[in-house]
Structure 1
Amino acid sequence: MRLLSVTLFLTLLAVACTAKAAPLLAPQQVDIPAAASLTLHAQLYKPAGEGPFPTVIALHGCGGLGGQSEPVQPRYRDWAEQLLKTGHAVLLPDSYGSREFGPQCRVKERRVLARRERVADINATRQWLLQQPWAARDRISLIGWANGASAVLWAVRPQSLSRSAEPDFRSAIAFYPDCRVSSGLGWSTRVPTLLLIGAQDDVSSPAACRQVVEGARGRSALAQIVVYPGAAHDFDRANLPLRALAGSDAALPERGHIGTDADARKDSQRRVTEWLAR
């Protein structure tokens, strides 16, 4: 009996060590034809099988998509893995690297604008997905963070609809976008759109995002906002201690605070899953 117990213990330990040592999920790079002879490089996470799969186009923030030694930063890979568990494919276009630019957080005159180049990237990515047999044409959604979230808000405005790429997006999710421009433009959305932001976000503006959504409710019932009490910018990132921004890191905003909020992170994961299942 004792020998059996020892054998069982060693077996379980081996399984645990194997699981712990399992390699991180590796994305597949795909190239997407875009406007002005641009080839848009993107990273694809796809479930096993032939599909068709509901697919999420995920838009990185001003720090860019990849790190120095990895094609996708852990924060975006974390979300891709979460979405894969719900049966979604995830496609992350690299708006900066495809144009041979680095991080754009502290660039005074950005050459890749959320409302222009990044919306064009979104539309090119959707057009490419509509031609893929593994992608469910009527279940393509958007998710974005910070600058990528601002691009999402521009892409879902009624004026931004591309008639050549039907059907339309299924839904959209924007994590802490900069709503200050949209708040003065009478923003509205043509698809169900969820905004998620922390009440203590001093990089973006929760007050402006509230104004954007409240204004949209007068024209449409498609927009909703969740403001997390006590949460700062980047609240959904894992294992990021709250800190004030300082220094000259081009991959970080110039000012404000960033950091994980465990409760907001967990709740946002649940809400994203529910929103995409609509």
Structure 2
Amino acid sequence: MRVPSTLLVLSLLMSSAHAASPAAPQAVEIIAGSTTLHAQLYKPAGDGPFPTVIALHACGGLGGRSETVLPRYRDWTEELLKAGNAVLWPDSYGSREFGPQCRVKEVRVKARRERVADIVAVRSWLLQQTWVARNRISLIGWANGASAVLWAVRPQNLARDAQPDFRAAVAFYPDCRISAGLGWSTRVPTLVLIGAKDDVSSPPACRQMVDGAQGRSALARIVVYPGAYHDFDRANLPLHASASSNDTAAPDRGHLGSDAEARADAQKQVAEWLAR
């Protein structure tokens, strides 16, 4: 029987979309001090051992009302899985029964404290898993999660154990102002990606921070994308002023929007950096 062309196209599109979606995550629980950390784990097919990425969400949180992992993070999960990585997303806010922290007056889950503790706990848990390539655990974070990454890789936060350290780290548009003022450095190869027009974070502070670290012989690199704004790596996000939105999962200032060229280059940069 001949299938009408419109139905055939629709069927192909649906099949393609289904094939592109990462597999459903596995829910895991990790003890982080007095907190039971809820996390979502994605693994490639097979037994491993796999290089593994600890991924840190932004101030809007990991999931939404009807989904445990937002589309922006599922997109990146797909990219990381294609490169052979397992991906673990700890939910720093939901695990503590908090919603988005973008517009709250008193942030109770701080990047430099609770979120670094989450990273430490997740690393310890991963090192006990047989499917993990223990010498290839890396970090990647967005905005507030990226700030947590910057704190976690400072030389002062080196774990006092005999286990392998993080392999690499990637920070998307972190707030670098405090780190730049503190003379930030890194013990782990660290890549910072930010848009030149990012008016939520501060590109000049990130440049100053990385330049200072390079002056202290740290392996740090920054890529500043001309014309790109905050959230440039999200797909199909029209440029808009964040303050004009009532979305509590968005920053209370600045502009957000996709940049297709910067997004594509960031995907390439991240793949190469994590494979080093």
Tell me if TM exceeds 0.5: yes
Q: Which residue of 2 aligns with 1:127?
A: 124
Deviations 1:115-151 (A, max 9, x none): 0000000000000000000010000000000000000
Q: Deviations over 1:62-83 (max 9, x none)?
A: 0000011000000001000110
Specify which of 259, 262, 274 is matched with residue 272 of structure 2.
274
> Residue 162 of structure 1 is aligned with which of 159, 162, 171?
159
Deviations 1:193-238 (A, max 9, x none): 0000000000000000000000001112410000000000000000
Q: Residue 185 of structure 2 contacts residue 218 of structure 2 at CA under 8 Å; is this kept in 1?
A: no
The within-5 A match list for 1:9-24 is 16=12, 19-20=15-16, 22=18, 24=21
Q: Out of 14-23 and 79-88, give the one that drifted further.
A: 14-23
After superposition, the Cα gap between the structure-2 partners of 1:10 and 1:195, relative to the gap in structure 1 and judged at 3 Å, is: closer
Which has the higher Rg, Structure 1 or Structure 2? 1
Q: Which of residues 78, 82, 90 in structure 2 aligns to 1:81?
A: 78
Q: Unpaired runs of 5+ in structure 1? A: none
Give the length in aligned residue pairs: 273
Structure 2: tracts of 5 or more residues without a match: none
TM-score for the superposition, normalised by structure 1: 0.93
1:167 to 1:147, Cα distance in 2 relative to 1, 3 A: same
Q: Alpha-carbon deviations, 1:76-124, whole Å to 9, x = none?
A: 0100011000000000000000000000001111110000000000000
Equivalent AA in structure 2 for residue 104 of structure 1 = Q
Relative to the length of structure 2, the TM-score reads 0.94
Residues 189 and 223, structure 1, Cα contact 8 Å, conserved in 2: yes
Q: Distance in 2 between matches of 1:80 and 1:182?
A: 28
Give the direction of change, closer, same or farther, for the CA distance of 1:165–1:68 in structure 2 (3 Å limit): farther
Question: Does the 8 A contact of 1:127 with 1:165 survive in 2?
Answer: no
Runs (4+) of structure 1 exceeding 3 A deviation are 9-15
Partner residue, 2:96:
99
Deviation at 1:11, TM superposition (A): 11
Residues 186 and 218 in structure 2, CA contact (< 8 A), matched pair in contact too: no
The CA deviation at 1:33 is 1.1
The share of aligned pairs that are identical, in percent, is 73
Greater shift, 131-140 or 17-26, is seen at 17-26
Q: Give, as a single letter, the amino acid of the residue that structure 1 aligns with 2:84.
A: G
Deviation by residue 1:32-74 (Cα, 9 ceiling, x = unmatched): 11112x1100001100110000000000000000011000000
Partner of residue 30, structure 2? 32
Further displaced range: 157-166 or 107-116: 157-166
Question: SS of the residue aligned with 1:164?
Answer: coil
Question: Counterpart in 2 of 1:255?
Answer: 253
Counterparts of 2:115 and 2:31, CA distance in 1: 14
Q: Quote the residue 2:217 is aligned against.
A: 220
